[in-house]
Amino acid sequence: MPKMKVKGAVKKRLKLTASGKIRRGRAYHSHILTKKNAKRKRRLREVTLVAKSDMGRMKKLLGV
């Protein structure tokens, strides 16, 4: 059986941590930033973890 292919788009956006969780960036920080306050933009810069409910799908896309 052939190897599972990794989705290129997912490979660019997600990263696997040492403990097996998946890191992702936050949305809504690419444009229309003038109306967002500084605190909100600062929070959007932070990375976060993929939700537990989505973990299975993301791991399949990553080929893990």
Alpha carbons 45 and 36: distance in angstroms, whole number: 13
- Please state, in angstroms and rounded to a whole number, the distance separating the CA atoms of residues 62 and 25: 16
Residue 22: inside a domain: yes
Residue 38 lies in a domain: yes
Instruction: Tell me, yes or no, whether 2 lies in a domain.
Output: no
CATH number at residue 29: 4.10.410.60
Task: Tell whether 31 is covered by a domain.
Answer: yes
Predicted confidence at residue 9, as pLDDT, reads 93
Q: Residue 39: inside a domain, yes or no?
A: yes
Domain residues for the domain of 28 are: 8-62
Which tokens belong to 18?
Answer: 């040492």
pLDDT computed for residue 50 by the predictor: 97
**Ramachandran sector of residue 36 (left: φ over 0; alpha: ψ -120 to 50; beta: rest):** beta
pLDDT at 25: 96
3 assigned to some structural domain: no
Burial of residue 22, with CB atoms counted within 10 A of its CB: 0-12 exposed, 13-18 middle, 19 or more buried: buried
pLDDT, tens digit, 9 for 90 and up, residues 15-57: 999 999 999 999 999 999 999 999 999 999 999 999 999 999 9
Residue 3: the pLDDT is: 82
Q: What is the pLDDT of residue 2?
A: 86
Residue 1's pLDDT band (cuts 50, 70, 90): confident
